[in-house]
């Protein structure tokens, strides 16, 4: 008990010492007038204020716009560097790199075939509501992605081709589209979250799936339930990344209302750009494997019904669940019985 008390006393003493130190080192400008202030003019020196405030210089204004009280914010130069250099390199490497990887993958691995060939029997993978949620999000994402890339790279890539006036007119419309499509996009992400979260809880199967290279490298097909490890990555990236893009985007659409500081607005803008560019790179891979990269994959989101052999190869455990649970495969008229072929 006494030991505890000495500890508390020590902590209080340390805190008091810290306070005294802070008071001693604080510039005269924040001390009460009674204190011995050094010569007043030097206390208003810009560099001293920068050093003390470690950033922007804030004052008081008599006009209604109180944001104008921020006299100087040198970190605007950091934002300039971010937008001119960091964002462009990051986006270029992420998106360009992904395109190179996908092209190389296609050249080396080729299209991932259904090894047993199409069976002619189909099984329902995504119902109407699920496909609606997917395509709502997807179509919004494509327009948002293009109009967003226009803000990041249009000046370098499109402006020289289109000319200043045409590019400005297109960018004006692109901005409007970008603002308004944020709402259906957010709705789509929320819908997908509700519909698919139960099938996307990570488990031991995902570890095995990744250990086997997901069947992309080599030809083994690690068994998985409704969603394999890779699909779960896409799901969580979409929900968390898409959610972050939506949140930062709404902050930017209502400037200084949700987030009220300059630093906050700059951070939201930076995060919005970086996460979006990484998401575009990821979704490029998703689009590839869902279309030209894999035989039979597109049908899942196209008609909603996939070939049974495709399902067995890629989602064997899920097929077992559905078959035993009686959710049932639809048998086209005239198809032979299961096992007969």
39 touching other proteins, by CB under 8 A: yes
Total residues binding other proteins (CB under 8 A): 63
When binding is defined by CB under 8 A, the residue of 11, 21, 26, 76 that contacts other proteins is: 76
Give the phi and the psi of residue 330 in degrees, each rounded to 5.
-85, 130
Rank residues 5 and 40 by Cβ distance to other proteins and give the closer one.
Answer: 40
Measured between alpha carbons, how far is 133 from 197 in angstroms, rounded to an integer? 13
User: Which contiguous run of DSSP H or E holds residue 292?
Assistant: none
Using rule CB under 8 A, residue 253 touches other proteins: yes
Q: Is 80 in the site for other proteins (CB under 8 A)?
A: yes
Site for other proteins contains 37 (CB under 8 A): yes
- Tell me how far apart the alpha carbons of residues 316 and 123 are, in angstroms, rounded to a whole number: 12
- Which residue stretch of 16-24, 98-106, 233-241, 249-257 sits at the interface with other proteins (rule: CB under 8 A)? 249-257
Contacts of 61 (CB under 8 A, 6+ apart): 68, 69
Rounded Cα distance between 88 and 145, Å, is 15
What mask, x for binding other proteins by CB under 8 A, covers residues 10 to 29? ------------------xx
Q: Within 13 Å of residue 97, how many CA atoms lie on the same side as its CB?
A: 10
Question: Token digits for 219?
Answer: 């030809």
Beta bridge partners of 57: 72
Q: Name the token pair of 224.
A: 């998985």
Q: Is 71 in the site for other proteins (CB under 8 A)?
A: yes
* 61 near other proteins, judged by CB under 8 A: yes
- Which residues of this protein are in contact with other proteins, per CB under 8 A? 28-30, 33, 37, 39-47, 49, 57-65, 67-77, 79-80, 83-84, 150-152, 154-155, 159, 164-165, 167-168, 171-172, 175, 179, 252-257, 262, 265-266, 269
């Amino acid at each position: 008990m006494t030991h505890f008390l000495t500890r508390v006393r020590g902590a209080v003493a340390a805190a008091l010492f810290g306070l005294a130190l802070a008071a001693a080192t604080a510039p005269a400008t924040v001390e009460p007038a009674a204190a011995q202030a050094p010569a007043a003019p030097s206390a208003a020196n810009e560099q001293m204020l920068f050093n003390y405030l470690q950033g922007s210089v804030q004052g008081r204004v008599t006009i209604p716009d109180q944001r104008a009280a921020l006299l100087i914010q040198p970190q605007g130069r950091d934002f300039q560097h971010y937008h001119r250099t960091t964002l462009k390199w990051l986006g270029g490497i992420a998106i360009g790199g992904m395109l190179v990887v996908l092209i190389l993958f296609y050249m080396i691995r080729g299209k991932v075939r259904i090894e047993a060939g199409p069976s002619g029997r189909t099984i329902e993978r995504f119902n109407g509501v699920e496909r609606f949620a997917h395509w709502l999000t997807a179509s919004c994402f494509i327009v948002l992605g293009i109009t967003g890339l226009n803000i990041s790279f249009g000046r370098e890539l499109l402006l020289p081709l289109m000319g200043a006036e045409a590019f400005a007119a297109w960018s004006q419309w692109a901005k409007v589209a970008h603002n308004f499509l944020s709402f259906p996009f957010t709705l789509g992400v929320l819908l997908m979250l509700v519909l698919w979260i139960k099938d996307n809880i990570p488990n031991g199967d995902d570890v095995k799936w990744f250990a086997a290279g997901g069947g992309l490298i080599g030809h083994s097909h690690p068994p998985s339930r409704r969603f394999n490890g890779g699909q779960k990555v896409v799901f969580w990236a979409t929900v968390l990344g898409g959610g972050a893009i939506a949140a930062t985007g709404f902050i930017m659409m209502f400037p200084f209302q949700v987030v009220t500081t300059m630093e906050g607005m700059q951070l939201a803008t930076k995060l919005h750009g970086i996460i979006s560019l990484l998401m575009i790179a990821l979704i490029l891979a998703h689009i590839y494997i869902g279309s030209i990269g894999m035989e039979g994959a597109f049908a899942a989101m196209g008609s909603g019904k996939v070939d049974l052999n495709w399902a067995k190869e890629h989602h064997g455990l899920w097929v077992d669940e559905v078959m035993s649970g009686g959710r049932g495969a639809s048998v086209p008229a005239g198809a032979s019985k299961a096992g007969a072929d």
